[in-house]
Structure 1
Amino acid sequence: MVHDRPRALTGEGAAPRRFIFVLVENFTLLSFASAVECLRIANRMAGAELYTWLICGDSEDYVACSAGSRFQVDISLDELSRDDTVLVCGGGDIQQHTTKRLLNWLRREARRGLKIGGLCTASYTVAKAGLMEGKRATIHWENHDSFAEEFPEVELTKSVFTVDGNRMTTAGGTSSIDLMLKLIADDHDEKLANAVADQMIYSTIRTDQDTQRLSVPTRIGVRHPKLSQVIQMMEANIEEPISPSLLAKDAGMSTRQLERLFRRYLSRSPKRYYMELRLQKARNLLMQTDMTVINVALACGFSSPSHFSKCYRAHYNTTPYRERGAQASRLSV
């Protein structure tokens, strides 16, 4: 069934909007495919070519996604039309795969006034090019800590996507769908965007006010309001950990009650759970940034590098220095 002609096509000779998808090596297929499918279905539902797209890369031939499939690029890093919209698609090891050539190309196209966005971890690439300063952005939750450390001038959110002027970012996964549906609604109308969502069996369209991670009760599989409250406080205070007694007081219970709550539902003490949160952040920073081990320790609430190393080794069976070295060796292969 063909959707009614959208408002932007009521005039004669309306040109389709062109998207340039820049595939960064090891990009996440889901984010890219979700975005392209929205455009394809919009054309189908409108019965007209509203959108066109090209695949671009810092290569003359193929770019591989994280699942191993290879995609042939249509164009390399050439000069684009001023009306084009650039969406950089990122994935694993984004720092390693963000090349100087790509950064310089993004800066040049930004100076020419193009709309530029980053899907999934490519928010890092756009920020590294200096294009997100003073703007709101988001990135996949796994890269949130490292991004915040490296780009303090960016207003980092936990939204599924952000649009700030001519800059766009998404958190990865299916959040590309939410961004594209917003763009389609802005370009044409919500009726067309809803028709695209229906075709994709996408029943809950999220806005930039929705957060990317599941709620604490959903993540831990426990619906207990006081437990959720304490875990949220822990997650918000990694650099300067709060004592169990203060956590308990803020939640309106005794320290002993807090201990029992964690033992019953999470099979560990509050102190142990808090330590695991801090060590997880530390591992993300070691793997995703160039921060020194000492600075990583401080960012995760460890006043002593030796204490940090001891706790890290007990949890991950390796030292922070060896973890950093193993990561560097893997990326150099």
Structure 2
Amino acid sequence: MSAAAAVEPLRAANLLTGRTLYELLLFSDLGGKARSSVGSWFDTAPIGESASELDILFVVAGGDPLSVDAERLSGFLRRLSVQGVALGGISGGAAILHKAGLLERRRFTIHWKHYDALRARAPDALMERRLFVIDRDRFTCAGGSAPLDMMHALIAAHHGASLAREVSDWFIHTSLRPAEDPQRLDATSKYGVHHPALIAMIALMEDHIADPMSLPQLATLSGIGERQLERLCKTQLDQSVMQFYRRLRLSKAVDLLRQTTLSVTEVALATGFSNNAHFARAYRQHYGTSPTQERRPTTKRRSTTSDHDRAEPTCR
């Protein structure tokens, strides 16, 4: 989805103008047939070929981009940066750019699934929870359908807003989202809550997974008293404020255990638990298993998806 949403608007710009505004090239590690996550294939050139002709290169990464050992790719990206080629990261692609040292002093975004794991490893990174971020010669977006929105901005900057709107209409993408739009469903859609204080409370909790807020802080920042917040939470969410908060943090811990190679200690810290014992106890109480046992099946699954999203669409 991420690769298609990035490539198709550029193809459509060529089609609608009858000119080759964008020449699309696909790269993979060794070139040849690169298999996508859905099972289709891309014809790709090896990394490094035709590099001198590139204007922009986007790295598209799914699966667990934080565990990718891609020193050859990192070297290639660094060489392009020195040559003045603009670089982009789509979905988890920003993690690979960051690992290569190419997002220093640059604002960027990444798919929400990887946000907390990368934040745990790089607390000083200029990472934002946006659909897309364009910071000078760096283009990053959250993946999924977000590349449609970023490519609209890119086409508008290159060839005018009129063509960008034509491309969006072509794909029936009539509700263009600004860069600062959230990546996830709001609390009303996700949890069925409507009270503004509860909506504010959930937003605060989701933004403070690693550094949990206290009940008084949540109540004050939600504009409501502690007792009233507790009453609303029990009425609409069927649990206390702190019970709901802990469930959010444990749910994020499951994601990190399954989707990253962070140690259990790092997962505990990234989800606001002060030590392993506290984390393991809360995890077992809620899920009936330990964090270590949760991780065991993950390695096996990863071994069957090693070529997930191997192709990197690029344009020039």
Instruction: Report the TM-score range of the alignment, normalised by the length of the smaller protein.
Output: 0.7 to 0.9
State the TM-score, normalized to the length of structure 1: 0.84
* Contact preservation (8 Å) 2:205, 2:213: yes
SS at match of 1:156: coil
Q: Which residue of 1 aligns with 2:16?
A: 45
SS at match of 2:84: coil
Q: Which residue of 2 aligns with 1:331?
A: 302
Q: CA deviation at 1:242?
A: 2.8
Aligned partner of 1:91: which letter? G
**Which of 160, 164, 187 in structure 2 is aligned with 1:216?**
187
Tell which has more relative contact order, 1 or 2 (C-alpha 8 A, sep 6+): 2
- Residue segments in structure 1 that go unaligned for 5+ positions in a row: 1-29
* Contact preservation (8 Å) 2:110, 2:141: yes
Q: Which residue of 2 aligns with 1:33?
A: 4
Query: Does 1:279 find its partner at 2:263?
Result: no
Q: Which residue of 1 aligns with 2:27?
A: 56
Distance 2:32 2:128 in 1: 35
Name whichever of 241-250 and 133-142 sits farther off.
241-250
Number of aligned positions between the proteins: 304
- Residue segments in structure 2 that go unaligned for 5+ positions in a row: 305-316
Aligned partner of 1:319: which letter? S
* Contact preservation (8 Å) 2:47, 2:76: no
Change (3 A) 1:222 1:65: same
Instruction: Output aligned runs, 1:1-333, within 5 Å.
Output: 30-333=1-304
SS at match of 1:55: strand
Q: CA deviation at 1:148?
A: 1.4
Deviations 1:136-192 (A, max 9, x none): 110111111012122334210111111111111110111111111111111111001
Distance 2:206 2:47 in 1: 42
Change (3 A) 1:64 1:306: same
State the TM-score, normalized to the length of structure 2: 0.88
* Contact preservation (8 Å) 1:98, 1:125: no
* Contact preservation (8 Å) 1:312, 1:320: yes
Following TM superposition, where does structure 1 have runs of at least 4 consecutive aligned residues deviating by more than 4 angstroms? none
Distance 2:125 2:113 in 1: 17
Identity %: 39
The CA RMSD over aligned residues, in Å, is: 2.1
* Contact preservation (8 Å) 1:79, 1:109: no
Change (3 A) 1:100 1:202: same
